[in-house]
Structure 1
Amino acid sequence: MTYTNETSGLQTLIDNSQQGTQLHYDAKSFIIGGKRVFLNIASIHYFRMPRQEWREVLVKAKLAGMNCVDTYFAWNVHEPEEGKWDFSGDNDCGAFLDLCAELGLWVIARPGPFICAEWDFGGFPYWLKTKENMQFRTDNEAYLRYVYLYFDQIVPIIRSRQITQDGTVILVQVENEYGYLAGDVLGMSYMNGLRDALLERGIDVPLITCEGGAEGTIEGANFWSGADGHYEKLMRKQPDVPKLVTEFWTGWFEHWGAPAATQKTPVLYEKRMMEAIRAGFDGISHYMFFGGTNFGGYGGRTVGSSDIYMVTSYDYDAPLSEYGRITAKFRTAKKVSLFTQALGDFLLESEPMDNMARCEEGIQLQGREWNGQKLWFAESVKQEKGMFPITLESGRTLPVSIKPGQIVPILDRIEICPGLKLTSGGFLIGNDRIGEVRTVILAGDDGGRTHIIFESDQPIHYDNAGSIPHESSPDGRTLHMDVFHFQTSQRIWLKVGGQLVEVIMLNGYMSDRAWKLQGNEVRWAIGWEDLDLGAEGRISGVSGGSDCDPFLLGNWDRKGDDGRDTGDRILHGSGNDTKPLLSPNLSEWKRKTVPLLSLGSGGIAERPRGFAELALAFGYLIYSSDVECDRDQESTLIFSAIQDSARLFVNGREQAMIRQVGAASAVVRLTKGRNKLQLLVQHMGSLNFSPYLGEEKGIFGAIYMDGSAIELRRGWYCGEEVVHLDEVNPGPFASALTRTFELMENDQAILVGALNSGLRINGREVLIDGYQNWFAYHAVDISAYLVKGSNLIEMPVSQTPLNRLELLMFNRSRELRNWSSVLLEDAVNFEEGSDSIGSGPTWNRSKFDLPAISEDINPKLKLRMTGMSKGYLLLNGRNLGRYWQIGPQEDYKVPMAWLKQTGNELILFDEEGRRPDRVKLFFDEQSNRSWQPLNET
C-alpha cells in the first residue's frame, strides 16, 4: 500500500509487505493480508471499566462477530494534572491494544485530542481552561503546543502497535467530528496540521476522519438512519476509498431527569444495519458496542437546554450492557455480523444492479450483483407479516417471510461452495468448511418457513429421504425444499460430487444462541445462552434452557467415518441450578453531617471562583458570604454565571435548589442582622460537544441581590395574534415574534434560554457567535441594547415549545462581595463525633462483606439508591460517580474488581442528608447461572 500525502510537503511511502501484514485499500474495501475484509467494529473505551473487565468485554465482541475494536484515548485520564502522566493500571492503553492483538482483533485508534464521547470536556484535561489565550480546536498556538505534547506521549503507544509493526492497529483517526463545528474549508488548516503531526510521529497506517475531512485521509460517516444519503455524500467526496460508518449509533446517552434512552429497539437496530449494508458500506463501527461507566466525575455535558448532564451509567442501550451482559441487541448484532462474514466476498465485490426481480405492491426490492450471483434486499412497508412471493430471473418464484418494516436478504444463486449455488430468503449466518463438511447455517423465525433452491452442475444427492418435503429436477441438479425452523434444529445432508454438505436450519431462539469460534479452524457451539473464552483456551457456557438441545460443530466433536457429526448432545440443565447468591448486607450506617456554619473561610475573593480557577478537576465546592440586613426581607438573587446545579442555604438551612444554569435566579428569605449565605455546588461535567468548549464550572460570576426574573415564553405577538412559546405551535411563524418588557430601577439584563438567530433588541441585532438554533440554549448579556422604560424584543421562532426563555434583571450596585470557596473533602472521620441527628448535607458510611462465590458463576453487583437525593459514591476509596435520584438511572455499577472479600467500605454523600435506609446492594439476575466447560484444555 502506498499512502501519499503531498499537501503538507511530506510524502510518506509505506510498503507493508516489508514489515508486518500487508494492508491496502481500494474503492471497495480494506484489504488485509491479501483478503478483502468487511469491518465489523466494536466501539469500546478502555477507560470506562476496570482493567480486569477488558478481556471479558473484548471476548464478547469477538463472539458477536466483531473483528475490529474502535477506541478513543482520553487525554484527561492520562494527564489529569499538567505534566503528570499516567499509563498504569486501568489507564494502560498500550496493554489494552496488546490484548486486542492477542484476541485477534484489529484496532481503529482515535487519539483525538478532542473525542466528545459524552466524556468530560471532550477528553481535554481541565487545566487547559486556565491557560492564557487558549482557543480550543483551532490553529491557536497555545492550544496546539499542549496538543503536540500530548501527541508526544500517546502516539508512540499507538505507533509501536500498528499493523506495519506486527501489531493490529490498522487505522488512526484525525480529531473527531470536526465537520459539526466547522466546514471542510474553514477547518482544513487545523485538521491538516493534526494530520501532519501524526505522520511526523510515525503513524504510517491509513488516516481516517469522521464527519469532516482532512486532505489525504479517508472520511467516514456517523449516523443511525439515512444510510443511502450518507453513502452518496461520501461517494461524491471520495469515490475511490472504502466507505465506513465510523459511528453507527446503537443507542443513545442518557442525562439526569430525562426519560430512558431506549428508543432504538433491536428490531430497528437490525433494519438500520441492513440499510447500511444494502447501501454499500464496507465497515460498520457499532458506537457503542459496550458503553461502560462514567466513574469519578468524567460524565460530560452537551448542548441543548441548560442542564443536560450525563448520568453515571454509559450503558448507551448498547449490545453489551454496562455490566458486560449480552442483550437482545447483542444477539441482533451477532446475527448480522455473521451474515456479513458468510457473504463477505460477495458484499465487498458486488455492485448495485437494476431491478430484475418482481414483487407485489408494498414490497420494495434493491439488489447487488457479482459474478452472476445476486443478493436482494426485500423491505416490507405493509402492516402485517406475511409470506410474499418474489419472482427472480428465469421465472423462479420464491415465497419469503417478511415482517412490517423488516429488510430480509434474498440469496439468488449465491455460490456456497464450488459448483453449488443457493437461492433462499432469510439470513445465512454460516458458510464454513468444518473438517471435510461444508456447513451452511440458515436462521429464521420461530416456526417460520424457508424455501430453498439448490442448483449444481452435478447431481445433488439428498440424504434425508422423506423427512422434509422436497422436489428434484429430472437431471437431479436442482433441489427445491420447504423447511421449517423448529426449536429442535433441522439438519439436512447433501452430497454434491465428492463434497459433503450439511444445512442446519435454526429458529430464532437457537440462532440467537449460535456462536461461531474462529481460530486455526472454525467451530460452532449452538444452543448456549452465553459463552466465554478463557485466557488459557478454556471455553465455558451457560445452557440455553431445559427445552434446548445444544450441540457442537468442529474438531471438539467425535466424528463418524464419513466426517459427519455423530449427533452428540451436551446438556447442562437450565443453567440456574447454582445456590442463589445472598446480597451483601448494608447495615449499621454511620453518619456525619457537614458543619456548614463552622466551615473555614478558604480565602476571600470579590466574587465566587470556579473549579478550574481553584485548580480543581471535579468534586464539590461550598461558597459562603455574609449578608447584613436592616430588616426581615425577601430578595431575588441573580447569578450572572453559574454552570452547575446548586443548593442555597441561609444560616445553615436549605432554601432553594437551583437547577437552571448559565444564568439563574433564586428567591431568598433573609432575617434582620447578619445572614450566612452558602451555596453547595457539585461539578456536574464540562461540555463535551459545543463551539463553547472550556466553560468554567461552578459559580464564577457576580451575584446580585434585589434583582428580578421574568418568564418570557408567554405573551408574544405575531401580528395581532398572541403566541405562547411554551405551547406547541404548528409550523414556523411567517415573521419574527415581538414582545415588550419594562426596565426601571435595574440597569443590567441577561437573556437566557432557547434563543434564535436574528434576535433583535430595540431594533438592533444581537450577535451570538457560533450559536445554532438547535442548541436551544444560550445566556446573553443584553445590557448594552437596553433603554430605561419600555424595550422591544423581536425574535424569529421556528419551533415550539421552548423549554426556557427568561429575562434576568439586576443593578450593579447590589452585587454581593467577599466570597469564600471551600472544597468539600472526601476524607471524613466517622469514628469521632458521628452525628446521627443533624440535618443537611451528610456523609453515610457502611461496611460489608462479600458472600462465598462459586468459581462457576460470573456475578455482577449493583447498588440501588432508593430514597436518596443527590451526591456521589465512594467504594474502598474509589469514586463510583455521581448519583441523582431524578431518573432515569436507578442502579449504579459496583465493579467486582474493586471489592475485597471482607471489610468493603461504601460512602454515600447526600446533599439533602437523607437516610440510606432503603439503599441496597444486589446481584443481577444472571449472577446465579452456572457456567460449565465445553472443552477440556
Structure 2
Amino acid sequence: MYKWIYLVLLLFTPVFAARGQSSNDHIFPAARVARSGIDFDNKGFLIHGKRTFIVSAGMEYARVPHQLWYDRLLRIKRAGFNCVEIYTFWNFHEPKENQFDFTGDHDLGRFLVMVKEMGMYAIVRVGPYYCAEWNNGGYPLWLKFKKGLGVREDNKVFEYYVDRFFDKLLPIVFKNQVNRGGAVILVQLENEHTQGWGTVMPNGYFRHLQAKALSLGLEVPYFFSGLHHSSDPGGEGKPDDAKRPNPWFSTEFWSVWYSQYGPKPGDAGVYDRRTWKIIAHGGNGYNYYMAHGGSNFGYTNNDEDAASYDYGAAIGQAGDLRPIYYTFKRAAWFARSFQDILENSTDATLVYSDISRDTGLKISARTSPSGDIIFLDNSGKNPVSAKLQQSGVTIKVAPGELYPLVHNFKISSGITLEWAYTRIFAVVKQHNTATIIADCEKGMNFSMHFITGPGMMAKPRSPGIKVTGNKIDLDVAMPDSDKLLEYAFTAGSQTIRILAMNRQQTDKTWIVDSGGENYVVNGAGYLGTVRIDDRTIKVAAETPLLANDEGQVWLYTANKTLRLEKGGQQAVSQPQKLKLTKWMQSDASAPALPGFKTGNWLHSRTPLQMGADGDLTPNAWYRTKVTVPAAGNYTMQVKGGGRGQAYIDGKPAAKWKLDDGEVSLNLAKGRHTLAIFTAHDGRDKLAGYIGPIESVDNKGIFGTAFIKQGGPFITRLSNWYFARADRKEDARSGPPKFDTAFYKKYKIGDDVFNKREGYGWFETTIAQPPAGTSKITLSFRSVDENATVFINGKQVYHHDGWNDPFEVTVTDPEALKAPVRLDVFVENYSNEGGIDQPVKVNTIGNAAMVNNWAMKGGIDNSPAAEKWLALSPKRNPGPCFYRSKFTVHFSVSHTFIWRVDTKNMGHGSVWVNGHNLGRYPEKIDAPGLYIPECWLRNGPNELLIYDEDGKTPEDINVIAEPAAGRTITNLTATIK
C-alpha cells in the first residue's frame, strides 16, 4: 500500500489508545495566575474574560523565511483567523549538540511577538517529538549517537537532553504567555504519542515533561499529544459532552494533504462542510493543519517530501490564495461574530426540529444566553428550497451546506437581531455602529428582523427598512446584479448597517483593524497593509496576476462610505522564464580517486552510518581497500540506507539502492581502492516510534561489510499465504497444517484484518539454500504489529512493535538441507495489520570481511575559483556542482513568483544567492523549487546546483509561476 495512505490511517489518528493505552481530549486548566488571560469551562474558551471561538491556522515559521513572516501572518489574519499554531522543531534550533539557534529564521521569540502585535494568539507545540513530515521527526541527528538513549520514554539519557533543550526553548515560549502580555494561549507537550493524549499521563516520561514545563513557568492551559486529529474532526457525531471538563477543540484538522500541490476541484466544498459541522455541533474551535504549508529549505524534508510542503493549503507555498481560503474565511468570521453563542451553548435541536419539514434537510441548533443559531443541513448533492414554518420564508440551501439562521442575538446595545433568514458573513463593531455583512444570491429573499428595547425609537435611513413600533423588518428581493446593497437604521445612539451582497462579493470583503478602529473594505481580491496617515487611509490591494482589474473598492468606516481611489500603476508583464548565463561546472567526485587523502576523515574498522562524524547533510563518502584472489563477479554486502555509487580505482563501477543490502562488482585479481558516494532523500519522521534510535532509519553504509564471489545472495520472499486465527494463544500450538482450503493467497502490504483487532498466520516456503550454506538470515522491515516467527513449525523468535526492523538467523544444519517452511503469527490491535514490507532472505553464509574504512559527510558548496570549468556534457557519473546567473528586475506593482525547474536532473540541492531552496526532485506536482522573493536581488542572482548523480543542467530554467503571482494596487481615501 502507498506509504502516505498508510500513515493517514494508522499514524495520525488518536486510536493509539486502542493499542492497550488510553487517551482523552481533556485540557489541563490554566494556573490561577493565568486565568484572567486564558480560561475555559466545558462550554468554551475565555480569553481576557471574553468568550472566544479559536479559529487557528497551522503555519510553521521554520518553513517560511523570517522576512516573509509578516506577509503570511497577515494573509492568515485577513481570512478571519485569530490564532496560529506552530511546532518548535528541536533540530531546527539545536542542529548540532549544544549549539542553539534562536536568531533570524530561527527567532521564535520575534515570531511570537509579531503574532501578538498583529492581534492574534498562538498555540505552541513544543515537542520534543513533532512528526510534521520533517527530517527525523524533529530529533537532532546527534541524538542517534548517544549510548543508552531511548526516545519518548522514561529514559534518563533522553530526558537529560530534552531538559537541556527545554531550558532554552520554554522560557521563550512562556515569556509570551497571554497572561504575561503575549500571544500564547495553549501549549502542547509531546505530539501524537502512542501512549497518551489529552490529559492522560501513563508513565514517568509524561510526568517528567509536565514537571519540567511547570518548573520553567508554564501557566496557560496545556495538553499532551493532540486533540481530535482528523480530516473530518467533527465526524457524524456531536462534540457536545456534558462530562467533558473543557471545550472541544481540534489541533489538527487536516485540510487537504501533504501529497498535493495547489487546489483541486472540490477541495473548497469538502472542507467547508467539515468546518461547519464543527461549528454547528458544539465545537469550540479548530486548527487547520496546514493553513499555509511553506517549504522544506535545506535538508529539513523527510523521506516523503522534497522542497515543497505546499499541502494544497489555503495559502500556497508562494503566498497565493486558493479557493479554499475564501471558504475558510467565511466560516471563521461567522464563528467569531457569534462566539458569544458558540462558546457558551447547549444543544437545542429538539426545540427547532420542526422549523422546516423538508425531508432533504437535517436540523441542528445551539442555544445560549446570548441567542440561538439553527443550522439547516443539506448533505445531498442537489440544492433544497425549504419553506420555514414559523415565518413562511423560503430558504435555498446549497448542496453540502449547513445554512445558519440566527435568532435572538443582541446585535448592539438595546437592539436584538430577532431573526436572520439570510446568511450572515460577519458582524463588525464600529463604535456605535454595528455592520452586518450578509450574502444572498440573486432572486432570493433578503430577510432580517430586529427588535429594539423599551423607549428606543428606530428610524430607517434606507428604503426597504420598515419600522413598526419596536420592530424593524428588512424584506427585499436581491437583484440580478453584482452591486452591493446598503441598508441602515438608527435606534437611540446606535446604528445598524446592513451590507447585502452575493458570495462573490463577500469573497472580496475584508475586515481590518487599524489605529484602534475597525473598517470594512469591499471589492479587493486581497487586502494587504492598511495605514492611516493624517486622516488619509492607504491600502495595498492585491489581485491575482492572471485576473482582471477588480473594479471599484469601497471603504466603510463607522459612519461613512468612501470610494478608495487607485494610484498610478506600472504596466509590467512577467516573462515565462529568465535567461541563464553559460553554465560552469565543478566536479565533486575527487574523493573517488585512488590517491585521494583521507587524513581528516573519520576512520573505523567497519563503516559508520551517515552523521557519525557530525555532518548534517544527506551526503557522505566512504573509502577502503579490498583484495580479491581471482578475477570475477563479487557481491559486497553491507547494511545501508539511501543511494550509492561505487567506484573501483576511481572509475564508476555500480549504482544501487543501499537498502537492498548488496551490490555486484566486477573485480580484477589483486588490491583495489573502493570508494562509495552515498546520498539519501530525507530521513523518516519516526511516527509512533518509541525506544532507541541509533539503529533506526540509518543512512549511508554501516555495520560489518562482507564480500564473496558469486551472488546475488539476497532475495525477496514471495508466494505468501494467510490464515486467520481466533486468539493470541493460538501461537502456543504452532502453525496449523498447510491446507489451501484454510490458507488464502496473500500480498505483502495488504490489510487482512479490515482495520480491526485480529490474529493470523502468514506462511511461505524458502527455497533450499545452496549446498554448503551454514546460515541464512531473514530480514523483516516491518510487521504490524507483533510477530512470532516459526521455522519448520518451531518458534525461533518473537518481536513486539510495528515499523521496527528485526532479523532472524537460521543456523540449524538439518533445516538448511531442504526447503524451509516459514510461518509468522501476527497480532494486530488496531487499524491495518499484516506484513507491511517485503521479507528478505540472505544466503551469503560465510564471507570475507571488508575492514578499515574512512568516512566523511557533507559537501563543499563553495568550490575554489580554479575548480570551475566550462560545462562539459560528457563526464563520469558522480556528484557535480553547476553554476549560472540570472537577472531579476523588481516591480513595486507586482509580486512575481519564480521557481527553479530541475527538469532532467537527478537528485540534489539548489541554492539561490547562497540560500538553500531544498531538495529535488519534487515528490508532488510543484512546478519547480520556489524562490522566496526576499532571497532575490534586484539585478544579477547566482544559481548553484549540486546534482548527486552528475546529470548536466542544459534543461534547467528559472521559470515563472504566474498563477501564484500578484498585482499590487495602492488605494487611498481621505477620512474627513
TM-score by length of 2: 0.82
Contact 1:750 1:779 in 2 (8 A): no
Give distance in 1, aligned partners of 2:301 and 2:749. Answer: 32
Contact 2:458 2:490 in 1 (8 A): yes
In the other structure, the counterpart of 1:366 is: 364
- Opposite residue 504 of structure 2, the aligned amino acid is Y
| Mapped pair 1:389 → 2:389 | no
Contact 2:602 2:613 in 1 (8 A): no
Give distance in 1, aligned partners of 2:53 and 2:132. Answer: 25
Pick aligned residue for 1:898 from 920, 924, 935: 935
Pick aligned residue for 1:88 from 100, 103, 106: 103
Give distance in 2, aligned partners of 1:118 and 1:667. Answer: 34
Pick aligned residue for 2:234 from 222, 227, 239: 227
Give the drift of 1:540. Answer: 0.7
Which string of whole-angstrom CA distances, capped at 9 and with x for unpartnered residues, describes residues 213-255 of structure 1? xxxxxxx3222214247865x948x71212221121123224x
| Mapped pair 1:679 → 2:701 | no
Give the drift of 1:865. Answer: 0.9
Describe the SS at the equivalent of 1:292.
coil
Pick aligned residue for 1:511 from 506, 519, 524: 506
In the other structure, the counterpart of 2:11 is: none
Give distance in 1, aligned partners of 2:658 and 2:471. Answer: 76
Pick aligned residue for 2:256 from 251, 258, 266: 251
Contact 2:630 2:669 in 1 (8 A): yes
Give the drift of 1:892. Answer: 0.7
Contact 1:488 1:548 in 2 (8 A): no
Give distance in 1, aligned partners of 2:532 and 2:122. Answer: 23
Give the drift of 1:453. Answer: 4.2
In the other structure, the counterpart of 1:542 is: 542
Contact 1:43 1:288 in 2 (8 A): yes
- Opposite residue 761 of structure 1, the aligned amino acid is F
Question: For structure 1, which runs of at least 5 residues remain unmatched after alignment?
Answer: 1-9, 212-219, 301-307, 558-562
| Mapped pair 1:284 → 2:286 | yes
Give the drift of 1:122. Answer: 2.3
User: Cα–Cα, structure 1 residues 284 and 654, in superposed 2: closer, same or farther, change >3 Å?
Assistant: farther
| Mapped pair 1:831 → 2:857 | no
Equivalence map 1:475-490=2 (5 Å): 478-483=473-478, 486-490=481-485
Describe the SS at the equivalent of 2:867.
coil
In the other structure, the counterpart of 2:734 is: none
Describe the SS at the equivalent of 1:736.
strand
Pick aligned residue for 2:554 from 543, 552, 555: 552
Describe the SS at the equivalent of 1:199.
helix
In the other structure, the counterpart of 1:865 is: 902
Contact 1:448 1:484 in 2 (8 A): yes
User: Cα–Cα, structure 1 residues 325 and 934, in superposed 2: closer, same or farther, change >3 Å?
Assistant: farther
In the other structure, the counterpart of 2:214 is: 199
User: Cα–Cα, structure 1 residues 904 and 768, in superposed 2: closer, same or farther, change >3 Å?
Assistant: farther
User: Cα–Cα, structure 1 residues 474 and 336, in superposed 2: closer, same or farther, change >3 Å?
Assistant: same
Contact 2:296 2:918 in 1 (8 A): yes
Contact 1:737 1:794 in 2 (8 A): yes
Give distance in 1, aligned partners of 2:184 and 2:298. Answer: 29
Give distance in 2, aligned partners of 1:644 and 1:96. Answer: 35
Give distance in 1, aligned partners of 2:632 and 2:156. Answer: 52
User: Cα–Cα, structure 1 residues 279 and 190, in superposed 2: closer, same or farther, change >3 Å?
Assistant: farther
| Mapped pair 1:917 → 2:954 | yes
- Opposite residue 430 of structure 1, the aligned amino acid is A
Relative to structure 2, which stretch is displaced further, 923-932 or 128-137?
Answer: 923-932
Equivalence map 1:337-356=2 (5 Å): 337-355=332-350, 356=353
Relative to structure 2, which stretch is displaced further, 186-195 or 576-585?
Answer: 576-585
Describe the SS at the equivalent of 1:932.
strand
Give the drift of 1:861. Answer: 2.5
In the other structure, the counterpart of 2:42 is: 27
Pick aligned residue for 2:149 from 130, 134, 141: 134
Describe the SS at the equivalent of 1:354.
coil
Give distance in 2, aligned partners of 1:264 and 1:180. Answer: 36
In the other structure, the counterpart of 1:6 is: none
Equivalence map 1:101-140=2 (5 Å): 101-140=116-155
Give the drift of 1:517. Answer: 0.5
Describe the SS at the equivalent of 1:100.
helix
Q: Kindly tell me the number of residue pairs found equivalent between the two proteins.
A: 884
Q: Which has the higher contact order (CA 8 A, sep 6+)?
A: 2
In the other structure, the counterpart of 1:755 is: 783
User: Cα–Cα, structure 1 residues 204 and 455, in superposed 2: closer, same or farther, change >3 Å?
Assistant: closer
Describe the SS at the equivalent of 1:613.
coil
Give distance in 1, aligned partners of 2:490 and 2:200. Answer: 61
In the other structure, the counterpart of 2:806 is: 780
User: Cα–Cα, structure 1 residues 885 and 268, in superposed 2: closer, same or farther, change >3 Å?
Assistant: closer
Which string of whole-angstrom CA distances, capped at 9 and with x for unpartnered residues, describes residues 451-475 of structure 1? 5242435898766658xxx999999
Give distance in 1, aligned partners of 2:923 and 2:434. Answer: 56
Contact 1:715 1:724 in 2 (8 A): yes
- Opposite residue 286 of structure 2, the aligned amino acid is I
- Opposite residue 221 of structure 1, the aligned amino acid is H
Describe the SS at the equivalent of 2:276.
helix
In the other structure, the counterpart of 1:698 is: 700
Contact 1:251 1:264 in 2 (8 A): no
| Mapped pair 1:377 → 2:375 | yes
User: Cα–Cα, structure 1 residues 651 and 192, in superposed 2: closer, same or farther, change >3 Å?
Assistant: same
User: Cα–Cα, structure 1 residues 140 and 742, in superposed 2: closer, same or farther, change >3 Å?
Assistant: same
Give the drift of 1:783. Answer: 0.7
Contact 1:210 1:221 in 2 (8 A): no
Which string of whole-angstrom CA distances, capped at 9 and with x for unpartnered residues, describes residues 462-521 of structure 1? 66658xxx9999997555444357422233345567754332222232222211103422
Question: For structure 2, which runs of at least 5 residues remain unmatched after alignment?
Answer: 1-27, 724-738, 827-831
Pick aligned residue for 2:745 from 717, 720, 723: 723
In the other structure, the counterpart of 1:714 is: 719
Contact 2:882 2:953 in 1 (8 A): no
In the other structure, the counterpart of 2:315 is: 320
Give distance in 2, aligned partners of 1:86 and 1:312. Answer: 22
Equivalence map 1:204-603=2 (5 Å): 204-211=219-226, 220-228=227-235, 235=241, 239-254=244-259, 265-300=267-302, 308-355=303-350, 356-357=353-354, 358-371=356-369, 373-384=371-382, 386-392=383-389, 395-417=390-412, 418-421=414-417, 423-424=419-420, 427-434=423-430, 436-444=432-440, 447=442, 449=444, 451-456=446-451, 465=463, 478-483=473-478, 486-494=481-489, 499-519=494-514, 520-533=516-529, 539-543=539-543, 546=548, 548-555=550-557, 563=559, 565=561, 568=563, 570=565, 577-580=571-574, 583-593=577-587, 594-595=589-590, 596-598=592-594, 599-601=596-598, 602=601
Contact 2:433 2:494 in 1 (8 A): yes
TM-score by length of 1: 0.85
In the other structure, the counterpart of 1:621 is: 620
User: Cα–Cα, structure 1 residues 632 and 391, in superposed 2: closer, same or farther, change >3 Å?
Assistant: farther
Give distance in 1, aligned partners of 2:421 and 2:658. Answer: 54
Describe the SS at the equivalent of 2:167.
helix
Relative to structure 2, which stretch is displaced further, 356-365 or 313-322?
Answer: 356-365
Give distance in 2, aligned partners of 1:340 and 1:674. Answer: 74
Contact 1:576 1:930 in 2 (8 A): no
Contact 1:242 1:282 in 2 (8 A): yes
- Opposite residue 781 of structure 1, the aligned amino acid is E
Give the drift of 1:660. Answer: 7.0
Give the drift of 1:65. Answer: 1.0
Relative to structure 2, which stretch is displaced further, 846-855 or 57-66?
Answer: 846-855
Taking only the aligned residue pairs, the percentage that are identical comes to 21
| Mapped pair 1:177 → 2:211 | no
Give the drift of 1:352. Answer: 1.0
Contact 2:341 2:370 in 1 (8 A): no
In the other structure, the counterpart of 1:65 is: 80
Give distance in 1, aligned partners of 2:45 and 2:744. Answer: 59
Describe the SS at the equivalent of 2:929.
strand
Contact 1:638 1:703 in 2 (8 A): yes
In the other structure, the counterpart of 2:10 is: none
- Opposite residue 876 of structure 2, the aligned amino acid is S
Give the drift of 1:841. Answer: 2.0
| Mapped pair 1:848 → 2:885 | yes
Which string of whole-angstrom CA distances, capped at 9 and with x for unpartnered residues, describes residues 291-317 of structure 1? 2111111112xxxxxxx4322212222
- Opposite residue 225 of structure 1, the aligned amino acid is D
C-alpha RMSD of the superposition: 3.7
In the other structure, the counterpart of 1:305 is: none
Give distance in 2, aligned partners of 1:923 and 1:282. Answer: 42
User: Cα–Cα, structure 1 residues 259 and 463, in superposed 2: closer, same or farther, change >3 Å?
Assistant: closer
